[in-house]
Amino acid sequence: MSDVLDQLLDLDRSQLEPSELEELNTVEMREWLESLDYVLASGGPERVKEIIAAIEAHAEMHGVALPFESDTSYVNTIAAADQPEYPGDLEIEKRIINMIRWNAMAMVVYGNKKSPGIGGHIATYASAANLYEVGFNHFFRGQKKGPDADLIYFQGHASPGFYARSYLEGRLTDEQMLNFRRELADGPGLSSYPHPWLMPDYWSFPTVSMGLGPITSIYQARFRRYLEDRGLYEKGSGKVWAFIGDGETDEPETLGAIRVASRAHLDNLIWVVNCNLQRLDGPVYGNGQIIQELEGIFRGSGWNVIKVAWGSAWDELLERDVDGAVVKRFEQLVDGESQRYAAFGGQELKERFFNTPELRELTKDYTDADFNRLNRGGHDPLKIYAAFEAAVKHTGQPTVILARTVKGYGLGAAGEAQNVAHQQKKLDENELKAFRDRFDLPVTDEQIQSNPYLRFDPDSAEAKYLLSRREELGGFQPFRHVTAEPLAAPDLELFEEFMEPSGDRAVSTTMLIVNMIRKLLRDPAWGKLIVPIIPDEARTFGMESLFRQVGIYSGVGQLYEPVDSANLLFYKESTDGQILEEGITEAGSMASFIAAGTAYANYGVNTIPFFIYYSMFGFQRIGDLIWAAADSRTKGFLVGATAGRTTLAGEGLQHQDGHSHVLAQPVPNLLAYDPSFAHELAIIVHEGMRRMYEEQEDIFYYLTVGNENYQQPGAPDHLTREELRDGVLNGLYLFKPSTAKGAKLRAQLFGSGSIMNCVLEAQRMLEADYGVAADVWSVTSYKALHRDALITERRNRLNPAEAPQQPYVYRALADAEGVFVAASDYMKIQADALARHLPKPMVALGTDGFGRSEAREELRDFFEVDAKHIVLATLHALAQEGQLDAAKVLEARDALGIEPSKADPYTD
């Protein structure tokens, strides 16, 4: 103990002068820290942990309520002394990164000069460049590494940087670079962001809708484990890397699923959050510290957290700072304030950060250049390398690296750390020259005016280094390469039972799809490849028997004896379980769907997902993930169960879906079906498997199935199998022609889903009570009919000299007599959208409006889709055609018991 401390300790602290108290505090703190240093040196970190734990317990025992802190001091997680040797050539890497920085900036600046308003981002990549370059030169493994290859979610707004690197690697041409964001130019162009749909040999993961990259990367890493554990893919050391913006962590999809990763011990997952402390409008958390906040969140969720906050230049300062003044200052520093130092440079840092006597003393020898060198960790390759290496080696947990960077790094006055940095796309000549000088680039003043892009001489040390690093790491990144072989659709025999009538047995389409999945799971070729995905609704859909049949996947197996173990259908979890029981997360389930439905591209494995969910919680809730699935060229079946606004009884407004088919319309490569019967479902599922896996088409399917039980009629006799198949797949076929041969009045009725039963009843009533012969058509897909009609219409418009063709729906109905009346459990706009393409008008009945808690019959009355409303609509249409007296319609309305003053379901 020091003498001063001894003396001061003898006094009553409350009697001390403030200066004496401060001295006591300082000396006391130093004593404690020195003791700790001694323990660390002699006993190592483990002993330090033991002592601190004992001190904490001791303090708590004496009534000191310690604050809960899930974050650690605001210093780098990896101490300077523990940093590994940097394996690369820093000088060469610097020249490479500088050239990439230039080209990435040039793509945007020159692109906007040529075509004002074309957009693009400079600041995002500028801040993240070092993170990526350490990855490209030392970590990211390419396709040739097989199961050791990495899957990388690149931050979407940084795409100019990846194109710029690919250009140096010789993968992209000058023309492509000049056509960044000009995909419709004469020559080949480059998409703004990562879109596998647009660049299928390059991008794998669409990340640009904030939050989708993060959540899908978690389920990707988990799915990789699933494939390995089930023996479908060789176990390797490949990682899933996701690069995320700090502003992006605002999205619930970013942080909402991080527990999934730690619970599953996904040490094959590495997130790098680029903490440039800014988002689009300004600071992410100006009044606080986003890095510290994120550290707390991730640590609390069981992740390994590595902070890369401060660059190497700070190490020496921290070393000298025995009183911890710098660390204390770090901890006070809010992000909005530190943004100023990045924006205004070393002088600002000197005056505003080193603003106490101790800090001034500590830096008294510092020159302006020294202050300017005090860099952020995310721009220091040594720090980044240490973090990446530790992340790759870490076992048992996912890792997140929180790297502190500067938004718009290198842009200087043109936007460095400015609130406007995100949208900066224009640099004037002086700013371009400043950028050139800062990064020491071989650009002449003349070149600045004209040819923007730089390349290394192929014989240069830089070009060779660049390519040899990638060669050693297994090839270029990003890449997308489909290696899966076509796989023949299952034998039609498998589906034969569904073509037969069910007899007295009433069966719902939900039960039918589950039966089909069960059968497919037993198929020798397909059985292993089916991936049933359920967000905690298996019992709702009668799928619990699958628990036992194929098991629920769990990376750790089952560590408990299930409560229902005596039951035949017990809740079985196992490492080779096949079902992905995701819990209550449609977003997570959709992320699994994407992983399973793109495994043909990412792993060369033809897994086929069936994601079964409450239809209301699909397009409406996770529409953006479905859009990303489409972009990703995902295959598989989305099955919206408990579908139909009036078919799902009792559940009411929030659950009754009468519009998911409308929301399915915008997704171009999605086929959407609303089948009524088993034979339709069987034909669609078989054809889907054939097209997606045998023909390798990049499409996916949406099927709605209901929970209403009814007898399945089997394939109709009046059609050949071929005719039936064509009709079902094209979206419409004559299901039940009228038998009332002599009737004068005619109608064509169109039914879908379970409303088909109302249509069939209306057919009977019209014939029996009103002398109208009605044919009944099954409309399996309004979307398919509409799509075909638009394609045909366009073809005719673009080829006016050729004989016009008719769309399928027109041809199918050309000779149909009488009025057209359609009814479905979905919005009227589905049928209305066909109006232009039909031989005559079609009256649409549907379920526009909010649902109600009621029984089916009442719901169908309320929404006016039941048999009596179909009858009334038919008679009204006949009257409008002049074939029936209006008085007859009025008579019928009253006879049917329809009140004209009844509530309007659309407005009430």
Q: Which stretch binds ligand TPP (CB under 6 A): 195-203, 276-284, 848-856, 884-892?
A: 276-284
Q: Which stretch binds ligand TPP (CB under 6 A): 67-75, 214-222, 243-251, 869-877?
A: 243-251
- Residue 279 lies near ligand TPP (rule: CB under 6 A): yes
Buried b (16+ CB within 10 A) or exposed e, 370-392: ebeebbbbbbbbbbbbbbbbbbb
- In the chain, the amino acid numbered 427 is L
Q: Among residues 822, 716, 715, 706, which one has the least CA distance to residue 754? A: 706
Q: Among residues 271, 285, 397, 269, which one has the least CA distance to residue 338? A: 285
In this structure, how many other beta carbons lie within 10 angstroms of the beta carbon of residue 124? 25
What DSSP character marks residue 794?
H
Q: Which stretch binds ligand TPP (CB under 6 A): 274-282, 701-709, 746-754, 794-802?
A: 274-282
Between CA 120 and CA 313 the distance in angstroms is 33
- Residue 423 lies near ligand TPP (rule: CB under 6 A): no
- Residue 210 lies near ligand TPP (rule: CB under 6 A): yes
- Residue 656 lies near ligand TPP (rule: CB under 6 A): no
Nearer to ligand TPP among residue 248 and residue 293 (C-beta):
248
- Residue 703 lies near ligand TPP (rule: CB under 6 A): no
Q: How far is the CB of 811 from ligand TPP (least distance, A)?
A: 43
Q: Which of 189, 214, 247, 577 binds Mg ion (CB under 5 A)?
A: 247
Q: How far is the CB of 207 from Mg ion (least distance, A)?
A: 14
Show Cβ contacts of residue 17 under 8 Å, excluding neighbours closer than 6 positions.
none
Tokens for 182, please give them: 């000009």
Q: How far is the CB of 245 from ligand TPP (least distance, A)?
A: 2
What, of ligand TPP, Mg ion, none, does residue 124 touch, CB below 5 to 8 Å by kind?
ligand TPP
Between CA 511 and CA 166 the distance in angstroms is 50
Tokens for 582, please give them: 């995701």
What, of Mg ion, ligand TPP, none, does residue 71 touch, CB below 5 to 8 Å by kind?
none
Please report how many Cα atoms fall inside a 13 Å half-sphere around the Cα of residue 670, on the Cβ side. 26
Q: Which of 8, 208, 387, 517 binds ligand TPP (CB under 6 A)?
A: 208
- Helix (H/G/I), strand (E/B), else coil: 637: strand
Q: How far is the CB of 342 from Mg ion (least distance, A)?
A: 12
- Helix (H/G/I), strand (E/B), else coil: 400: strand
Q: Which stretch binds Mg ion (CB under 5 A): 65-73, 241-249, 705-713, 739-747?
A: 241-249
- Residue 209 lies near ligand TPP (rule: CB under 6 A): yes
Q: How far is the CB of 507 from ligand TPP (least distance, A)?
A: 41
Q: Which element (helix H / strand E) includes 507? A: strand 506-507
Q: How far is the CB of 123 from ligand TPP (least distance, A)?
A: 6
Between CA 631 and CA 410 the distance in angstroms is 33
In this structure, how many other beta carbons lie within 10 angstroms of the beta carbon of residue 161? 28
- In the chain, the amino acid numbered 215 is I
Q: Which of 196, 245, 377, 408 binds ligand TPP (CB under 6 A)?
A: 245
Q: Output the CA–CA distances (angstroms, integers) from residue 106 to 176, 426, 448, 454, in the order listed.
A: 13, 10, 10, 10
Nearer to ligand TPP among residue 276 and residue 615 (C-beta):
276
- Residue 248 lies near ligand TPP (rule: CB under 6 A): yes
Tokens 């390398």 appear where?
385
Q: How far is the CB of 407 from Mg ion (least distance, A)?
A: 6
- Residue 274 lies near ligand TPP (rule: CB under 6 A): yes
Nearer to ligand TPP among residue 154 and residue 456 (C-beta):
154
Q: Which of 228, 246, 462, 864 binds ligand TPP (CB under 6 A)?
A: 246
Between CA 757 and CA 866 the distance in angstroms is 9
Nearer to ligand TPP among residue 125 and residue 526 (C-beta):
125
What, of Mg ion, ligand TPP, none, does residue 157 touch, CB below 5 to 8 Å by kind?
ligand TPP
Q: Which of 124, 159, 217, 642 binds ligand TPP (CB under 6 A)?
A: 124
Between CA 275 and CA 111 the distance in angstroms is 27
- In the chain, the amino acid numbered 662 is V
- Residue 245 lies near Mg ion (rule: CB under 5 A): yes
- Residue 157 lies near ligand TPP (rule: CB under 6 A): yes
> Residue count at the site for ligand TPP (CB under 6 A)?
18
Tokens for 810, please give them: 């027109």
Q: How far is the CB of 123 from Mg ion (least distance, A)?
A: 9
Q: How far is the CB of 131 from ligand TPP (least distance, A)?
A: 10
In this structure, how many other beta carbons lie within 10 angstroms of the beta carbon of residue 542? 15
Q: How far is the CB of 198 from Mg ion (least distance, A)?
A: 25
Nearer to ligand TPP among residue 208 and residue 349 (C-beta):
208
Q: How far is the CB of 124 from ligand TPP (least distance, A)?
A: 4
Q: Which of 133, 150, 228, 246 binds Mg ion (CB under 5 A)?
A: 246
Q: Which stretch binds ligand TPP (CB under 6 A): 109-117, 277-285, 462-470, 691-699?
A: 277-285
Q: Output the CA–CA distances (angstroms, integers) from residue 780 to 69, 350, 704, 733, in the order listed.
A: 57, 71, 10, 8
In this structure, how many other beta carbons lie within 10 angstroms of the beta carbon of residue 718? 10
Show Cβ contacts of residue 769 under 8 Å, excluding neighbours closer than 6 positions.
871
Nearer to ligand TPP among residue 548 and residue 621 (C-beta):
621
Dihedrals phi, psi of 904, to nearest 5 degrees: -90, 115
Between CA 164 and CA 97 the distance in angstroms is 10
What, of ligand TPP, Mg ion, none, does residue 225 touch, CB below 5 to 8 Å by kind?
none
- Residue 276 lies near ligand TPP (rule: CB under 6 A): yes
Dihedrals phi, psi of 621, to nearest 5 degrees: -90, -40
- Residue 278 lies near ligand TPP (rule: CB under 6 A): yes
In this structure, how many other beta carbons lie within 10 angstroms of the beta carbon of residue 90? 10
Q: Which stretch binds ligand TPP (CB under 6 A): 89-97, 99-107, 241-249, 634-642?
A: 241-249
Q: Which stretch binds ligand TPP (CB under 6 A): 21-29, 273-281, 635-643, 857-865?
A: 273-281
- Residue 419 lies near ligand TPP (rule: CB under 6 A): no
Q: Would strands 240-245 and 151-153 be described as parallel, antiparallel, or unpaired?
A: parallel
Q: Output the CA–CA distances (angstroms, integers) from residue 542 to 484, 507, 509, 703, 856, in the order listed.
A: 33, 12, 11, 17, 20
Q: Which of 185, 280, 482, 743 binds ligand TPP (CB under 6 A)?
A: 280
Looking at residues 248 to 287 of the shown chain, list those that interact with Mg ion (rule: CB under 5 A).
Answer: 276, 278
- Residue 111 lies near ligand TPP (rule: CB under 6 A): no
Using a 10 angstrom Cβ sphere, with 0-12 exposed, 13-18 middle and 19 or more buried, the burial of residue 147 is: middle
Nearer to Mg ion among residue 246 and residue 321 (C-beta):
246
Between CA 399 and CA 269 the distance in angstroms is 7
- In the chain, the amino acid numbered 369 is A
- Residue 108 lies near ligand TPP (rule: CB under 6 A): no
Nearer to Mg ion among residue 153 and residue 733 (C-beta):
153
Dihedrals phi, psi of 842, to nearest 5 degrees: -125, 130
What, of Mg ion, ligand TPP, none, does residue 248 touch, CB below 5 to 8 Å by kind?
ligand TPP
Between CA 158 and CA 131 the distance in angstroms is 12
- Residue 407 lies near ligand TPP (rule: CB under 6 A): yes
Dihedrals phi, psi of 579, to nearest 5 degrees: -80, 140
Nearer to Mg ion among residue 204 and residue 375 (C-beta):
375
Contact 284, 247 (CB under 8 A): yes
Interacting residue ranges for Mg ion, rule: CB under 5 A = 245-247, 276, 278
Interacting residue ranges for ligand TPP, rule: CB under 6 A = 124, 127, 157, 208-210, 245-248, 274, 276, 278-280, 284, 407, 422
